[in-house]
Amino acid sequence: MTVASAVSLWAVGAQANDDLIKMEKDAKQWVMPLGNYAGNRYSSLNQINKTNVNKLQVAWTFSTGVLRGHEGGPLVIGNMMYVHAPFPNTVFALDLNKNGQIVWKYEPSQDPNVIPVMCCDTVNRGVAYGDGKIFLHQADTKLVALDAKTGKVVWSVTDGDPSKGETGTSAPIVIKDKVLIGNSGGEFGVRGKVTAYNMKDGKVAWTAYSMGPDSDVLVDPEKTMSMGKPIGSDSSLKTWQGDQWKIGGGATWGWMSYDPQLNLVYYGSGNPSTWNPVQRPGDNKWSMTIFARDADTGMAKWVYQMTPHDEWDYDGVNEMQLVDQKINGQDRKLLVHFDRNGFGYTLDRTSGELLVAEKFDPAVNWATKVDLKTGLPQRVKQYSTEAGGEDKNTKDICPAALGSKDQQPSAFSPQTGLFYVPTNHVCMDYEPFKVAYTAGQPYVGATLSMYPPKGDNHLGNFIAWDATAGKIKWSIPEPFSVWSGALATAGGVVFYGTLEGYLKAVDAETGKELYRFKTPSGIIGNVNTYEHNGKQYVAVLSGIGGWAGIGMAAGLTEDTAGLGAVGAYKALSQYTALGGTMTVFSLPE
């Protein structure tokens, strides 16, 4: 697919937000957290390319003044840059015409009691833009609309109840006249949902839950399809014991994508609650599921559950990349998803037909393959966490709960036809135990330890993936998980960041490293690019934290703390320290 066709694919959706569709085609700006509605994280800018990227230097930096993990990245709208931070979710508007001078700053007043109910650090994945407003999903679940010019609050609504463990960490997405957000809190027994708010006034347009009655999940028993068949009535209720669905998890804190032509929004739901699978028999639908919903009504056109009756916390919330590619000799509208469970899925995004499902990390062992006819993973009993009942420690499960990839978004280049995927190369021991539900208290029920796969001494890889064949083109081992979002450019360069703090640039065709620079802190943010006054810039937030860096961010020391991650990443403290800094790079004059 050429760059031109990749752009035109999104230009024809006349019914979508006209301003954003026009703006996302302008490579000088970065108007959405994932770059465009398709979630491709690709830029047609090529001033920085594989012949000169080794000359990059720091143009300027900006400190957010906040510690903890800095996920997400800045938006660039015209001559303004909008930068966000973790709790308390400060937002800055910087004037690019005045060397990044602060035009306004918004710092919400939030109850610090929200912090203990945030699962995996106090992260926030970014703000969204639309209709002259900046939209922020705060940790306390409030969705706030800020005037993009002044920073003044236009409206604010409360989406959930932090006292019950419900929080906000996701980046909103603006579609037509609505702003969509998901919720966090699967580790506290919340019930996952996506809510669409009217952009003008913040009133609820629709709410779609991950599990429960058909009327709550917004599914039609006869019209909503799964693996080519209608799902039937009470498809979710029938897979839960009693009323467990009411505290069933399936949180929706990941990324969303949108196809203007089909008017469908795509996203994934997370793990079922509790992590102890013995306590929740059944398939636990619709946790761990890809949803395709009508953007106007929220009604689901199709669903696909990747990990029925999850036993390992393999959240399904990672990004959904939308591309048009030829597969098996036929042009298809594809959805590509790299799941926590270690399988890279390629589906027809119109129908939900499963076309490819292959391991994107060779260490994956909990299942041998995915049956393309049934969609079911072929599980390996040895790595079941409930085979021996509660209090049995199942060892050497790959991947670990944080998955072969977590929220760190991949990139796609229409030049190469490849996906560039930041991955985790981590295994675990998993011991479930009985846990009782109490609102606002952790509802996990499992003790985990994490470590590299046997015979390996590295915790991450950065890979190039062919989604039509389901194969790795090349792979770069990294000492620690690659927790940053990738960026692909028309200059033939792919950028990503490392937990030690390096911004790296590699050749999109070969993976050869072309450039590296050590930023002030570990990078779990997403690399962006934009053009200002005729010059291309690359920007990235650094600030160690997130699940992989929770030990450093929260001062945890026990190996099993941080839901099992602390022990695996102890050595990080030898390479980096806490901090929140945006570093902006450019070529010398």
Give the CA distances from residue 554 to residues 116, 272, 561, in Å, rounded to whole numbers and listed in that order.
10, 25, 10
Measured in whole angstroms, the distance separating CA 340 from the mean position of its chain's CA atoms is 10
- Whole-angstrom Cα distance, residue 472 to residue 421? 10
3-state SS class at 550:
helix
| Exposure of 115 in the CB half-sphere (CA atoms within 13 A) | 13
Determine whether 574 is exposed, middle or buried from the number of CB atoms within 10 Å of its CB (0-12, 13-18, 19+): exposed
Residue 239 DSSP one-character state: G
Tell me how many degrees the CA angle 507-59-586 measures, rounded to the nearest 5: 30
Q: Are 375 and 394 in contact (CB under 8 A)?
A: no
Among 471, 456, 381, 380, which residue's Cα sits nearest to residue 424?
456
CA dihedral of 212, 218, 224, 225, whole degrees rounded to 10 = -50
Determine whether 28 is exposed, middle or buried from the number of CB atoms within 10 Å of its CB (0-12, 13-18, 19+): middle
Measured in whole angstroms, the distance separating CA 557 from the mean position of its chain's CA atoms is 27
- Whole-angstrom Cα distance, residue 197 to residue 467? 34
Percent composition of the chain: helix, strand, coil (DSSP 3-state, to 5): 10, 35, 50
Measured in whole angstroms, the distance separating CA 264 from the mean position of its chain's CA atoms is 18
- Catalytic residue (choose from 313, 361, 429, 466): 313
Among 282, 391, 302, which residue's Cα sits nearest to residue 348?
302
User: Is 456 a residue of the active site?
Assistant: no
3-state SS class at 211:
coil
The phi and psi torsions of 415 (rounded to 5 degrees) equal -70, -45
Among 151, 227, 226, 144, which residue's Cα sits nearest to residue 181?
144
- Structure tokens, 553: 């961010």
Measured in whole angstroms, the distance separating CA 351 from the mean position of its chain's CA atoms is 23
Among 540, 576, 508, which residue's Cα sits nearest to residue 56?
540
Give the pairing type, strands 42-43 and 487-489.
parallel
Residue 49 DSSP one-character state: -
Q: Count CB atoms within 10 A of the CB of residue 187.
A: 24
Give the pairing type, strands 320-327 and 300-305.
unpaired
N-term to C-term CA, the chain: 34
Q: Are 448 and 401 in contact (CB under 8 A)?
A: yes
- Whole-angstrom Cα distance, residue 6 to residue 25? 10
3-state SS class at 479:
coil
- Structure tokens, 506: 């590699």
**Could you tell me which residues come within 8 angstroms of residue 26 by beta carbon, excluding any fewer than 6 positions away?**
none
Residue 151 DSSP one-character state: -
Q: Which residues carry out catalysis?
A: 313
